[in-house]
Structure 1
Amino acid sequence: MKHALATVLFAIAALPAAAASHSSTTFITEQDLNGDGRVLLDEFKLGRQVEFTRMDFNADGQLSEAEYLGEFEGRLMQRVGKMADPEKRKEELQRQMRQAKVRFGVLDADKNGSISLEEFQATGLRMFKLHDRNQDNGVDEVDIKLAEEERKAGKTGFVSP
């Protein structure tokens, strides 16, 4: 049991920090810590907690705007750094950083200038519930199929298959 937990925690630590995706397929790929093709609610919460701890550079239990934006900017630079056109790279960086600042304001639900673990978990849980279409506390292939059926029926939502 201890070995299995250590393996999962090691795998989590090796993952890049990522927000919960709007695509259920990507969500599973990014959040499936044990590689079983399904993201259980407890597994998701654990991943979010580890992600929060990794972002909390000064370990005070709160994400400051600088910590939140700095972590995001690091990931963003890796992605936009691959863009060939320097002007488009600059525009994308500026646009994404403006959006990140707005996201910080939304995540800071109590408007105290920082994001607590509870606030961080709450936003992730809202996204988890959107992906968990059959409400079984897990996101898997069944939820992807339900999302595809909704899309085919013309029901477009915030999250996609």
Structure 2
Amino acid sequence: MNTQLFIPVFSTLLLTISSGTLAASHNKLVYLNQYDLDNNGELALTEFDQARKQRFDLTDEDHNGLVDENEYVFEYQNRMDKQLAEDRLNQVKQTVVRFKSLDKNDNGRVEWSEYQASGERSFTHYDGNQDNVINKDEPPKSRPNAQKPNEELQTAQQIEDEKQLALQRAKRLLRMPSTHSSNGFFSKYDSDQDGIISRAEFDQRRRNDFDLTDEDKNGWLSQQEYLFEYENRLDQQIARTRKGAIKQTYVRFNILDKDKNGGMTFAEYQLSGHRSFNRWDTNQDGVVSMLDPEPEQRRYAKDDKANNTGK
């Protein structure tokens, strides 16, 4: 694959992923990762059909040439649980990083002053006019833009590392609420949901969170306490994610099973598959690659949803 051509295309992709506007299952990088068997960055229709047939046969556990509802749900649930376990591990690793970032004096504990200093930075960012009141319509202070690497100087390994990081982010199923967005910030700190966060309201929520995490009530947080509180929320989010995803898997099966006989044939499976391939093959050359222009964003029909959730 031409690395020089790949660099600007991949950089554009990174912006798309980081914006959060597309679900991972609607992401070309994930799509290629699922079906590009020889991992050469190009997916021909014959290769796509082969990959789809392999997945269909693996899902068809009794090898009768049909995939029933239980087989379909079980296969997806198995892949989902593996991805959720990977996501959880990565989240826990990042939580350790956050703890060490909060522990400014490196004494293995986060004291209230250290915890509140982080909150102060967040409040100041969203309080654009610095009046100690954050309004939902108030534009936040702009953060300094991170310096982008010089793409012409990047090595092949650096490009590959960025690609793998982008792929990991795009495949992620476990998404925790984040205060890095205005909506997430208000969801957490606007206790009375009036669209305004006062300094007192913000400080009280921060204090409540700190005290709740401080299980032994000694006035500071150990790494174990910090991790335990976050892991508890992680596991609650995993349970919600699994419940919703499994429910949607039953819906997808009913969409794919066109004749409603309880058994999906490979031909039925491929009706959705070929629509997805044609959508990504925007230059209509029979090959999907990162060099294809992005398709127009559109509302997905039910049949497309059945394919674009990883089946």
Q: What TM-score do you get using the length of structure 1 for normalisation?
A: 0.75
Equivalent position of 1:54 in the other structure: 58
- Residue 79 in 1 paired to residue 83 in 2? yes
Shift of 1:30: 2.2
Residue aligning to 1:142: 291
Identical residues among aligned pairs (%): 30
Q: What does the per-residue CA deviation read over 1:42-92, in whole Å, with 9 as the maximum and x for residues that have no partner?
A: 000011011100110000000010000011111111223426322211111
1:132 and 2:281 correspond: yes
Which whole-Å CA distance do the structure 1 matches of 2:83 and 2:60 have between them? 22
Please state whether the residue corresponding to 2:291 is helix, strand or coil.
helix
Equivalent in 63, 69, 73 of residue 73 of structure 2: 69
Specify the alignment match of 2:131 in structure 1: none
CA contact (8 A) 1:69 1:101 kept: yes
When the two chains are superposed, the root-mean-square deviation of aligned CA atoms in Å is: 1.9
Residue 41 of structure 2: SS of its match in structure 1? coil
Structure 2 residue matching 1:121: 3-state secondary structure: helix
Instruction: Count residues with an aligned counterpart.
Output: 132
Q: How does 1:13-32 map to 2 (within 5 A)?
A: 21-32=25-36
What is the match of residue 256 of structure 2?
A: 107
Q: Distance in 1 between matches of 2:235 and 2:27?
A: 29
Q: Please tell me whether the aligned partners of residues 80 and 92 of structure 1 are also in contact (alpha carbons under 8 angstroms).
A: no
Amino acid at match of 2:266: L
Q: Specify the SS of the correspondent of 1:142.
A: coil
One-letter identity of the residue aligned with 1:27: Y
Q: Which amino acid aligns with 2:274?
A: L
1:3-58 per-position Cα deviation (integer Å, ceiling 9, x unaligned): xxxxxxxxxxxxxxxxx942112212221112221000000001101110011000
Deviation of the 1:121 alpha carbon = 1.4
Distance in 2 between the 1:156 and 1:46 partners? 27
Q: What is the CA–CA distance in structure 2 between the aligned matches of 1:133 and 1:53, rounded to whole Å? A: 29
Give the Cα–Cα distance (whole angstroms) in 2 for the partners of residues 61 and 32 of structure 1: 24
User: In structure 2, what residue type is equivalent to 1:56?
Assistant: D
The residue type equivalent to 1:108 in the other structure is: D
- Corresponding letter in the other structure for 1:71: E
Pick the structure with greater CA Rg: 2
User: Given the alignment, which residue of 34, 39, 43 partners 1:39?
Assistant: 43
TM-score normalised by the chain length of structure 2: 0.40
